[in-house]
């Protein structure tokens, strides 16, 4: 899952720490751009049970920055964002109750 528990600098300058949480589901959105990355991630979260962790893979800096913010605004917990070192980012999010 990349560098679990390490620091990663996000495109906007924020630093996130990916927790040691195993994702139950994974959504590969490489090749997609915003707003489609957010929309597809949100739909995937809506299809799983509350509390389940989803790992979303994106390959552009705008999505790595915007998707976590949008998911948090939609009521989901963003557990971390990690640059995987191959031009992709892994976004760990837990589905909210809504």
User: First CA to last CA across the chain, in angstroms?
Assistant: 27
Active-site residue set: 34
The confidence band for 20, taking pLDDT boundaries of 50, 70 and 90, is low
Check residue 82 and report its DSSP letter: E
pLDDT, position 61 = 95
Per-residue pLDDT band at 25 (split at 50, 70, 90): very high
pLDDT digits (tens, 9 = 90+) for 36-48: 999 999 999 999 9
Check pLDDT > 80 for residue 10.
Answer: no
Domain range 7-94, CATH architecture: 2-Layer Sandwich (3.30)
Is the predicted pLDDT of residue 14 greater than 90, yes or no?
A: no
Domain boundaries, given as residue ranges, for the chain: 7-94
Residue 23: predicted pLDDT: 84
């Amino acid at each position: 899952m990349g560098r679990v528990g390490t620091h990663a600098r996000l495109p906007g300058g924020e630093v996130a720490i990916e927790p040691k949480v195993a994702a139950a589901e994974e959504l590969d959105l490489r090749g997609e751009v915003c707003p489609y990355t957010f929309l597809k991630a949100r739909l995937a979260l809506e299809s799983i049970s509350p509390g389940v962790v989803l790992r979303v893979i994106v390959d552009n800096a705008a999505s790595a920055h915007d998707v976590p913010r949008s998911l948090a605004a939609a009521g989901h917990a963003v557990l971390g964002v990690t640059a995987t070192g191959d031009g992709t980012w892994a976004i760990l999010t837990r589905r909210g109750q809504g």
